[in-house]
Structure 1
Amino acid sequence: MTSRPLTPTARVRRLRRRITALFALTSAVGLVGMAVFAVQSDDRRWRQQLDGTMGQDTSWAIGLLVTDEDDRLDARELAETMGTGCPPLTVLSVPSADDAGLQVDHAPRRPCLTVGPADIQAAGEAAIHAEDTAASDRRTTDGRPVRLLSEPFYAPDAVAGEGPQGAIVTMAETSDQRADHRRLTWLVAGACTVLVCLSAAVGHLLSGRAIRPALAALRQQEAFLADAAHDLRTPAASLRTLAETALRGETDRTDVLRRTLRLADGMGGLVDGLLTRARLMSGVETLAREPLRLDQLVEGVVEDTPGAGHRVTVETQDTVVVADPDLVRRAVANLLGNAFAHGHAPGESADVRVTVTRDGTVTIDDAGPGLPPRVADALFERFRSGAGSTGLGLSIAAWVAHAHGGTLTVLPGQRGGAHFALKLPS
């Protein structure tokens, strides 16, 4: 089963989700790396601190070891001077070649921590083999975690190159340090989780702001295509019907050409209106603002607008506004054309009154049938067309007003018709 292709809007939204995921993933990688570094650093830190404390004990104990006349270790002074039970201090010496393992020369009778003899032997052998301090993690016989540290010592008369005489092994419980380390680990993990979620939310917000213009452009494009399809369908069907009638010879050739020319002119104006509306919606149409005499512009539009059989009364005052002359001319022409088309009863001529005041307001009143209830605000939406019109004139006029920072309103007129007011900033 083949999947349906995604619409452009769906693809843009999918891109937003991918950007959000990538943003969150990048943040997660960085935060996890920092978290691992912090946790490992804390793990090394507490072990180094504990090793330093135990190393002081072993160094002090080595200074208390003596050798008797037979070169045998004597740990009595160590046992008498230091309490070797806590921390436990075990003295191991290197036996003769024939013996296996290290010899225990001193072990505490009642140590506070007890590990297996094999662990003590392994710790001592590691220090003697490395000829340096060795540390390892083990567990006591009752299961508590401990850290073993062993430090080698040498005979008083040892010569260069001679190995250690033995090693002192001590230990310390690490339950508290491990508990603190676990709390830090959970705290860092929780903070990373919160920060990753926050990063995902911020990434989603930023990606939404980034694709907002693209979504707006897509919506404008879809609206333009819908307008074009809606408004071009009727004249295109009329042309087809006219052509089929001409092919069948049912209409006079001159009449067919006259009607074709009229439809072509109407379609040309419709295409021009669609393009103007699309450019205004997308922001491509730039405003060539300049000071202009609004009263003179309106008078010129009234003179140039075809209105045979209609009565137009113009009342103007000297008015100067800063606006785009071409766009304002188109807006006024659309409003006047709307009054000619809908501002009268069927079969009668329109009676239109045009007024220009000094505050930059152009009003157009007609004596037509008026506005149906609750449709005034919807007149400027697309697809709100009357019979025989494209429905773009009022929409373009509204866009022109908004582009200049003005307004276009419609109210019931005093003469029963519609009252349009185009307000431009002075």
Structure 2
Amino acid sequence: MTDPALGPARRRISRIRWTTTVVFAATTAVCLGVLVVIALRVDTSAQTKAFDEGLRQQAGSLSELVSIADDGSLDLGRLNATQVGRTTSVLGVVTPSSIEYAEPDQDALPTDAELRRVITAQQEDAGVAGFVAAQQRGRTLHWAAAPVFDAARITSSTPVGAVLLVGGTVPGAAEHAALRNRLVLTSILLVVGASLLGHVVSGRAMRPAVRGLASQERFLVDAAHELRTPLSVLQLEVDRAARHPDDPDAQRAAVDGARRQVRRLSALTDALLLRARAAVGTADLSREPLRLDQLVEQVVTELRDIAPDDARITVRPDPPDAVVVRANPDVLALGVRNLVENALRHGRPPVVVEVRGDGVIVTDAGPGIPEADRARMVAAGTTGDGRPGTGSGLAIASWAARVNGGSLTLDDVPSGGLRATLSFPADGRAGA
């Protein structure tokens, strides 16, 4: 059964976990996105570099097929006869004054301004060069330009008589798009997988924090539940002293009663702290032989001071001999006290406390608890009528029984009411 005390702690931890998971997923996505962009740029750069190098080699080879005659005219015969040029999408031969050759047409070549820039650059520094420029029809291509030398002007400052251009688009666009899609899909899967794994791991790592928060919350609930009764008695003692300011006996009785409650508060605080430390594994609850009948009588005596006027608490030792059990006295007293207080608060008189050789039985004449609700009633955070609340009396009694090697069972009284039995195993009892 889920402990209701874990609810608020789990909700806070859950918010922290989800926030951590979202931040982790976002960070992972950003890192993978950067890696994808870098990988795509490297792939594009490698393809572009290889393509540009091919264009320059092709331009250099094709420029050797073009010659300039003595009269200054271009000889394009060998260029027209070869099939090499046909492997390039755009091919052109231009002079400072005209376009001598264009394949597939002149609009496929760069703009006139770009052509003049290329010719001027070749005349100033002849050599195969690459560049990127738009065609006259607007499409941007990669180009390579190679000079065609004029033998008649080889000794002049401008020996370049024409420029051969080859151009085309970088191949592999489909493969690049497929690579991009694969990288994006892989990144998404990695982000989802890493986020799920991180969420699971963070959940396991935060379990101690959940238990720690739950222990703190349970301690506060139990402390409020346990300290309420002695604080009420203290208030009664103070009121008694205030009503009889001139009566020494009343003043003395009030002081004695207040002292008893202070001692009880101290014992309760020690027991609660002991339970809190034991819950987180920082303290051992040692057991020792003790008189169960005396412990029960002491607890009931303290509770009679605050019982309603019509309440009747009867202690029935059976057998009448001393009953000795091995238990932690503070924790056992805490459990018995909660059983009796639960009967007083949620049952009806008479409340009967029986001490037997195998444990303690507390019965009342109240409405009892339906069998289907009994398991829930021993869970912390349940009120006497089974609704969610701050009550924890039966839960504390059940814990006290388990710590001392025993158990708590709830059943009906044939004549009406609830019977709570705090039992000890055979090895937990000792002879008188």
Same fold (TM over 0.5): yes
Three-state SS of the structure 1 residue aligned to 2:409 is strand
* Mapped partners of 1:160, 1:222: distance in 2: 97
Equivalent position amino acid for 2:108 in 1: T
* Other-structure match for 2:357: 354
Shift of 1:410: 1.3
Alignment of 1:34-73 (within 5 A): 34-69=35-70
Shift of 1:169: 0.7
Aligned counterpart for 2:238 among listed residues 240, 243, 260: 243
* Mapped partners of 2:54, 2:68: distance in 1: 26
Shift of 1:382: 3.8
Aligned counterpart for 1:172 among listed residues 168, 189, 194: 168
* Mapped partners of 2:41, 2:320: distance in 1: 86
Q: 1:13 to 1:402 in 2, by over 3 A?
A: same
Q: Quote the sequence identity (%).
A: 22
Shift of 1:242: 1.9
Which TM-score applies when normalising by structure 1? 0.67
Q: Which runs of 5+ in 2 are unaligned?
A: 1-7, 299-314, 385-389
* Mapped partners of 1:407, 1:125: distance in 2: 103
Q: 1:160 to 1:242 in 2, by over 3 A?
A: farther
Tell me the matched-pair count: 382
* Mapped partners of 2:18, 2:351: distance in 1: 59
Three-state SS of the structure 2 residue aligned to 1:64 is coil
1:90 aligns with 2:92: yes
Alignment of 1:239-278 (within 5 A): 239-249=234-244, 252-278=250-276
Q: Check the 8 A contact 2:296/2:336 in 1, yes or no.
A: no
Q: 1:206 to 1:367 in 2, by over 3 A?
A: closer
Q: 1:284 to 1:203 in 2, by over 3 A?
A: same
Three-state SS of the structure 2 residue aligned to 1:285 is coil
Shift of 1:306: 4.8
Three-state SS of the structure 2 residue aligned to 1:286 is coil
Q: CA RMSD in A?
A: 4.9
* Mapped partners of 2:24, 2:351: distance in 1: 66
1:222-278 per-residue CA deviation (whole Å, 9 max, x = no partner) reads 332233234323422331232132133166223222322232232223222322232
Alignment of 1:183-332 (within 5 A): 183-189=178-184, 191-193=186-188, 195-196=190-191, 199-200=194-195, 202-249=197-244, 252-281=250-279, 283-287=280-284, 297=288, 300-302=290-292, 305-307=295-297, 310-313=316-319, 332=332
Three-state SS of the structure 1 residue aligned to 2:33 is helix
1:166-218 per-residue CA deviation (whole Å, 9 max, x = no partner) reads 532111245x6445444544554455455445555555555555545444433
Three-state SS of the structure 2 residue aligned to 1:305 is helix
Shift of 1:383: 6.3
Q: 1:330 to 1:259 in 2, by over 3 A?
A: closer
Q: Check the 8 A contact 2:338/2:396 in 1, yes or no.
A: no
Three-state SS of the structure 2 residue aligned to 1:135 is strand
* Mapped partners of 1:331, 1:127: distance in 2: 100
Aligned counterpart for 2:370 among listed residues 360, 368, 373: 373
Q: 1:234 to 1:340 in 2, by over 3 A?
A: closer
Equivalent position amino acid for 1:235 in 2: P
Q: Check the 8 A contact 1:85/1:112 in 2, yes or no.
A: no
* Other-structure match for 1:410: 409
Which TM-score applies when normalising by structure 2? 0.66
Shift of 1:300: 3.2
Q: Which runs of 5+ in 1 are unaligned?
A: 1-6, 94-101, 320-324, 356-363
Q: Check the 8 A contact 2:133/2:143 in 1, yes or no.
A: yes
* Mapped partners of 1:183, 1:199: distance in 2: 24
Q: 1:286 to 1:261 in 2, by over 3 A?
A: closer
